[in-house]
């Protein structure tokens, strides 16, 4: 049976710019992703941003995208969030949401 709109699984890559390192951004992102039931990963980059991948039901992924764009961790200051490589997937490619070093 066809899944209801918003229940299709999507994968999207993200990168968040601003004051997002040294402010527990990865830990908060992991917490929010787990609360929403999403899988993927998050890591700091060498150029001061945070990047990763989100996978899950479309509607939940949209919620985390909005969170990454506007909220973040309490001490962070997000200037912008960029999303790329969005695609529908048949199954989740990660078991959980991990912080990568």
Average pLDDT of the residues of the chain? 94
88 included as an active-site residue: no
Active site annotation includes 85? no
Overall average pLDDT of the 4-31 stretch: 92
- Contact indicator for 29, 52 with CB cutoff of 8 Å: yes
The mean pLDDT value for 84-89 works out to 97
User: Is pLDDT at 3 greater than 60 in this prediction?
Assistant: no
CB 77 within 8 A of CB 18: yes
Q: Which residue among 26, 62, 80, 88 is the active-site one?
A: 26
pLDDT at 1: 36
pLDDT tens per residue, range 45-81: 999 999 999 999 999 999 999 999 999 999 999 999 9
Q: Check 44, 60, 62, 80 and give the catalytic one.
A: 44
Q: How far apart are CA 78 and CA 22, in angstroms?
A: 13
CATH 3.30.70.100 corresponds to the domain 19-90: yes
Question: What's residue 7's pLDDT?
Answer: 77
Cβ atoms within 10 Å of 41's Cβ, excluding its own: 19
């Amino acid at each position: 049976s066809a899944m209801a709109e918003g229940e299709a699984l999507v994968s999207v890559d993200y990168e968040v710019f601003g004051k997002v390192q040294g402010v527990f951004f990865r830990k908060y992102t992991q917490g929010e992703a787990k609360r929403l039931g999403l899988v993927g990963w998050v890591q700091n980059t060498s150029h001061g941003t945070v990047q990763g991948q989100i996978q899950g039901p479309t509607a939940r992924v949209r919620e985390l995208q909005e969170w990454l764009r506007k909220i973040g961790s309490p001490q962070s200051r997000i200037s912008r969030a960029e999303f790329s490589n969005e695609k529908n997937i048949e199954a989740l490619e990660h078991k959980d949401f991990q912080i990568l070093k």
